[in-house]
Structure 1
Amino acid sequence: MNENHLLDLEEQKTDLGRVEISPEVIEVIAGIAASEVEGVATMRGNFAAGVAEKLGYKNHGKGVKVDLNDEGIIVDVSVIILYGVSVPEVAKKIQQNIKQALQTMTAIELQSINVHIVGVHFEAVDGEEETK
């Protein structure tokens, strides 16, 4: 199975049909769940996501990559954290929040949630914000 396929939520046949969830929906749910964690400054997206946001489009899946394979679903999250927070604690909270959100909203079991800290955001002395 690759990420272009829709994910079958249940294999049960009912009179009502099947429920399928696209990987983009999983990305959005995971992105929102990660950004809600205290200590996360922002999600890290690609160039296209940055351009879309400057044009006024909100991309809730920014910074999230979903990989569907034979063993299950792997979620990779790239975040920029606030200066001074505990990196292991924030990363663990991100994993827990994503897992809970996906289980509650989709009943999907995850193989792994990988958190990538790609930057630190801090406020400069003169009040301007910087990200390194």
Structure 2
Amino acid sequence: MSDNQVVKGNPQEQELGNITVSKEVVAIIAALETIKTEGVVGITGGYRSKSTNALSRKDLAKGVEVWMKTGEAAITIPIITAYEVGIFKVAEEVQRRVKDAVCSMTGLEVLKVNVNVQGIKFKEEIKKPRKEKKEKEEKQKETEK
């Protein structure tokens, strides 16, 4: 199956040309909507990576799997949630947000949004990397002076 799919209409009937959307674009939309969801700590590399570490912002879409056929898509997103949240509530919110965003931005009918919760993080684990990053930035500013 091609990585690009015709989104609207029959290619022979398009007056101005074809409209196509790549799987990567759908994956990026899905990933960005997912990380905006309250309770989601990150996206993992999925089952293939065998890692439950969150991907960096530039690699987010690599964990998202997209299956497409003309005008339709199915999406699987492996996530890490915060410990203090209701996992099913967060997963359902991810499903809703991703479906709405992909549909409105691409015109594709989203058949399924599968959410695989592959890990949870405690508050301490979430705050520690942020604190370390802030300290590193402060040191870098001091050396630049």
Q: Quickly name the TM-score band, shorter chain normalised.
A: 0.7 to 0.9
CA 1:71–1:28: 2 relative to 1, 3 Å:
closer
CA distance in 2, matches of 1:64, 1:8: 21
User: What is the SS of the residue equivalent to 1:67?
Assistant: strand
* CA-CA distance at 1:68 after TM superposition: 2.2
Post-superposition CA distance 1:80-132 (Å, at most 9, x none): 0001100110000000000110111011101111000000011339x646xxx
Amino acid corresponding to residue 27 of structure 1 in structure 2: A
TM-score, normalised with respect to structure 2:
0.72
Aligned to 2:87: 87
Indicate how the Cα distance of structure 1 residues 71 and 26 shifts in structure 2: closer, same or farther if over 3 A, else same: closer
2:17 counterpart residue number? 17
Query: How many Å apart are 1:70 and its aligned residue?
Result: 7.8
* Gapped regions of structure 2 (runs ≥ 5): 130-145
Q: Secondary structure at the match of 2:8?
A: coil
Partners of 2:70 and 2:105 in 1: how far apart? 22
| More helix, by proportion | 2
Equivalent residue, structure 2, for 1:5:
3
Partners of 1:71 and 1:111 within 8 A in 2: no
Contact 1:43 1:62 in 2 (8 A): no
| 1:76 and 2:48 aligned | no
Change (3 A) 1:14 1:111: same
Q: TM-score, normalised by structure 1?
A: 0.79
Task: Tell me the equivalent position of 1:64.
Answer: 64
Identity of aligned residues (%): 26
Give the distance between the partners of 1:104 and 1:124, measured in 2 at CA. Answer: 37
Give the greater-gyration-radius structure (CA): 2
Q: CA RMSD in A?
A: 2.6
Kindly state the Cα deviation for residue 6 of structure 1 after the two structures are TM-superposed.
Answer: 1.2
2:133 is matched with: none
2:82·2:123 contact (CA, 8 Å) conserved in 1? no
CA distance in 1 between counterparts of 2:24 and 2:78 reads: 16
